[in-house]
Structure 1
Amino acid sequence: MDSEALRQKLEQLTGKRAGIKQLGRQHSASLFGVGTEEQEQPVTHDGYLWVPLYENEGRITAVWVEMEGLTGLELQLVNYAARNYAIALKATGLKEEGEVEARQLSGWLNSQLEQEKNDAEIPDDMTLKGRLFGDMVPFLLVSENVHNPQLTYRSLMKLLRNYFENDILLIPLQEKEWLILARKELLTGGDDKEDEEESEDELLAQTSMGLHELIASEWVGVFHLAVAPAIIPVKGLTGSVALLRETIVLGRIFQVGEYIHLPWELHMERLINSIPDERRRQLLGQIGDYSSVLADKEMLLTLETFFEMDCNVSETAKKLYIHRNTLLYRLDKIKQETGADVRSFGDAAIVKLAMLLYKVTKRK
């Protein structure tokens, strides 16, 4: 049971509002007497029952429940449930700084996304809300490692702290799925001036490449990483996570062999994926038979690279490490087999559309 489940259980048990909050050092000391024998005892204050869960560097994270109208038995049950949860935390090692609060936010996020509430604002009873008002860059990390040991919060957080110099948050979502929130300053190194040479998209892409390389060098296996533009998480987090999840799905379909996926590079793919399956098959049939070319891995790679290089022959040849004449030969072969000359804009657009339709229908 995570902290959000505990909060919901207490509300169902008592019919009263409940929440989990991390207190500051001074408030922790005055309420619980940090460093004394009474530190782990429940207290009542201003009409609320407070039960401490764990302490970290003088800050206590506690569960609170409204007391008005509660019977003595209900108070005992609240204390019993909270204390059992605190014992379980110690036994499972979830006392790592920020993990309880992160899992509380995770429970709320997953609940909102399951209901497709992509514009929901983070409620006040989320302990981390106070850290989610500034501009932050969201990353979504998904592991495909089936047999390898699951990443732990502690190990991943340690790695991220070595990579990001600024304040970060790590939110475990589903199994093998992690949301990383980093301060926007990571793009500029704290400089308020916009970078004159590189756009924000380029900086995000470079940061993602570095992060993915770090993770891949630390753990064996396949990891997908997506990043979205900076948001103010308190209002835009659910929508951003929904976008990142969709980006990972699209990347797996349309960018096979790639592991960093950027939403601004998948506009056409997003459109194709939204078309019903039967209609996609009809469109593919109406466009023409390109299967002989698209089923050839060498030709498919040539087309993908050609489009990536904005149909520039010289740059495509360099990227593929082949002679320019070899590339021209392949393009001529595509024209002979399909009747489409991808060096012209109209034919290139049709072949690009056919390629995307082929990928998603073949996957089905």
Structure 2
Amino acid sequence: MDSETLRKNLEQLTGKRTGIKQLGRQHSASLFSMGLEGQDQLVIHEGHLWAPLYESEGRITAVWVEMEGLTSLEVQLVNYAVRNFAIALKATGLREEGEVEARQLGAWLNTELEQEKNDTEIPDEITLKGRLFGDMIPFLLSSEIAHSPQISYRSLMKLLRSYFENEILLIPLQEKEWLILARKELLTGGDDKDDEEESVDDLLAQTSMGLHELIASEWVGVFHLAVAPAIVPVKGLTGSVALLRETIVLGRIFQVGEYIHLPWELHLERLVNSIPVVRRKQLLGQIGDYSSVLSDKEMLLTLETFFEMDCNVSETAKKLYIHRNTLLYRLDKIKQETGADVRSFGDAAIVKLTMLLYKVTKRK
């Protein structure tokens, strides 16, 4: 059970507003004049019942319950629930490096996204809210291996700190899925001038490549990574996580063999994926039969590379390590079999759309 679940249980038990808050060192010392051994003691302060969960570097994280109308039996039950939670927490070691607060935020995010609430502001009872007002870059890391060993929060946090070299937040979401929040200045080097959009995108892509290489070198398995532009998490986090999850889903469908997925490179794929299944099949039938080309791995790779290189024949040949004449032969063969000359913009657009429809329909 995480701290957010504890808070909800206490709220249901007492019918009172509850919350979890990390106190500063001075506030911790004044409110709870005891060490960890005295954590089973309750404190009444400013109309609230406070119960400490754990201490980290002099800061105590505590749960509070509105005191007005609370019966003595309910107080005892709150004390019992909190004590058991604190004991279990200590036994599992989850109190290291802010994992409890991170899991609380992760549980809240999962609940909001399950209800398709993509624009909700983080509520005051989320302990980490006070650290989420500045611009931050969100990354979503997802493991593809179903039976791979569980990666511990502590080991992943240690690895991330070695890469970003500064403060980050690691938020466990669903199983084998983690949200990483890094300060925007860590990526820009503290330069406040306005960067061109392309340079910012390039910087995010390069940072993602380095991060993915580091993770892949440390752990066995396949990991997908997506990144989005900077947000102020307190207001934009749910929408950003929803975008990143969709980006990884689209990447797995349309970018097979790639493991870094960027939302600004998947606009057309997002549009195609939103088309109902029946309509996709109708469109494929109306466009014509391209199956002989799209089912041929060599031809499919040729087309994908040709479009990736902006339909530039010379650059495509270099990327494929083939002679220019070999590429022209393949393009002519595609024209003979489909009637579409991909060196023409109109035909290229139709073939690109057909490729995407074919991929998503075949996947389904």
Does the TM-score normalized on the shorter chain lie above 0.5? yes
Q: Hey, what does 1:286 align to over in structure 2?
A: 286
SS of alignment partner, residue 97 of structure 1: helix
Residue 50 (structure 1) shift = 1.1
Kindly provide the CA deviation profile for residues 265-317 of structure 1, in whole angstroms up to 9, marking residues without a partner as x.
Answer: 11101010101000000000100100011001111111111101100111111
1:36-115 to 2 correspondence within 5 Å? Answer: 37-115=37-115
Task: Report the AA paired with residue 303 of structure 1.
Answer: L
Q: Hey, what does 2:170 align to over in structure 1?
A: 170
Identify if the C-alpha distance between structure 1 residues 197 and 103 changes in structure 2 by more than 3 Å, giving closer, same or farther.
closer
CA contact (8 A) 2:39 2:83 kept: no
Task: Report the AA paired with residue 252 of structure 1.
Answer: R
1:61-210 to 2 correspondence within 5 Å? Answer: 61-195=61-195, 199-210=199-210
Distance, in Å, in 2 between the alignment partners of 1:120 and 1:211 is 29
Distance, in Å, in 2 between the alignment partners of 1:333 and 1:36 is 75
Identify if the C-alpha distance between structure 1 residues 37 and 110 changes in structure 2 by more than 3 Å, giving closer, same or farther.
closer
SS of alignment partner, residue 96 of structure 2: coil
1:261-340 to 2 correspondence within 5 Å? Answer: 261-340=261-340
Identify if the C-alpha distance between structure 1 residues 7 and 36 changes in structure 2 by more than 3 Å, giving closer, same or farther.
closer
CA contact (8 A) 1:166 1:185 kept: no
Distance, in Å, in 1 between the alignment partners of 2:33 and 2:133 is 31
Kindly provide the CA deviation profile for residues 176-198 of structure 1, in whole angstroms up to 9, marking residues without a partner as x.
Answer: 01000111112211122245796
Residue 38 (structure 1) shift = 3.4
CA contact (8 A) 1:101 1:127 kept: yes
Q: Structure 2: which 5+ runs fail to align? A: none
1:208-247 to 2 correspondence within 5 Å? Answer: 208-247=208-247
Please, which moves more after superposition, 201-210 or 27-36?
Answer: 27-36
Residue 340 (structure 1) shift = 0.8
Distance, in Å, in 1 between the alignment partners of 2:201 and 2:268 is 18
1:246-265 to 2 correspondence within 5 Å? Answer: 246-265=246-265
CA contact (8 A) 1:150 1:176 kept: yes
Task: Report the AA paired with residue 181 of structure 1.
Answer: L
Please, which moves more after superposition, 249-258 or 187-196?
Answer: 187-196
Task: Report the AA paired with residue 319 of structure 1.
Answer: K
Kindly provide the CA deviation profile for residues 248-276 of structure 1, in whole angstroms up to 9, marking residues without a partner as x.
Answer: 11011111111001111111010101010
Identify if the C-alpha distance between structure 1 residues 36 and 139 changes in structure 2 by more than 3 Å, giving closer, same or farther.
closer
Distance, in Å, in 2 between the alignment partners of 1:318 and 1:260 is 23
CA contact (8 A) 1:188 1:195 kept: no
Residue 218 (structure 1) shift = 0.6
Identify if the C-alpha distance between structure 1 residues 34 and 296 changes in structure 2 by more than 3 Å, giving closer, same or farther.
farther
Distance, in Å, in 1 between the alignment partners of 2:40 and 2:316 is 66
Distance, in Å, in 2 between the alignment partners of 1:37 and 1:148 is 38
Q: Percent identity?
A: 87
Distance, in Å, in 2 between the alignment partners of 1:321 and 1:197 is 31
Task: Report the AA paired with residue 363 of structure 2.
Answer: R
CA contact (8 A) 1:34 1:58 kept: no
Distance, in Å, in 2 between the alignment partners of 1:52 and 1:126 is 16
Distance, in Å, in 2 between the alignment partners of 1:196 and 1:273 is 30
SS of alignment partner, residue 328 of structure 1: helix
Task: Report the AA paired with residue 125 of structure 2.
Answer: D
Q: Structure 1: which 5+ runs fail to align? A: none
Distance, in Å, in 1 between the alignment partners of 2:277 and 2:36 is 65
Q: Which stretches of structure 1, 4 residues or longer, exceed 3 Å deviation after superposition? A: 34-40, 194-198
Task: Report the AA paired with residue 78 of structure 2.
Answer: V
Distance, in Å, in 2 between the alignment partners of 1:141 and 1:87 is 31
Distance, in Å, in 2 between the alignment partners of 1:270 and 1:20 is 38
Q: Hey, what does 1:345 align to over in structure 2?
A: 345
Please, which moves more after superposition, 160-169 or 76-85?
Answer: 160-169
Distance, in Å, in 2 between the alignment partners of 1:361 and 1:61 is 50
Identify if the C-alpha distance between structure 1 residues 225 and 27 changes in structure 2 by more than 3 Å, giving closer, same or farther.
same
Distance, in Å, in 1 between the alignment partners of 2:140 and 2:13 is 35
Distance, in Å, in 1 between the alignment partners of 2:37 and 2:177 is 39
Distance, in Å, in 2 between the alignment partners of 1:279 and 1:8 is 44
CA contact (8 A) 2:40 2:79 kept: no
Task: Report the AA paired with residue 240 of structure 1.
Answer: S
Residue 81 (structure 1) shift = 0.5
Q: Hey, what does 1:19 align to over in structure 2?
A: 19
Please, which moves more after superposition, 16-25 or 27-36?
Answer: 27-36
Identify if the C-alpha distance between structure 1 residues 217 and 46 changes in structure 2 by more than 3 Å, giving closer, same or farther.
same
Residue 148 (structure 1) shift = 2.0
Residue 115 (structure 1) shift = 1.0
Distance, in Å, in 1 between the alignment partners of 2:199 and 2:180 is 21
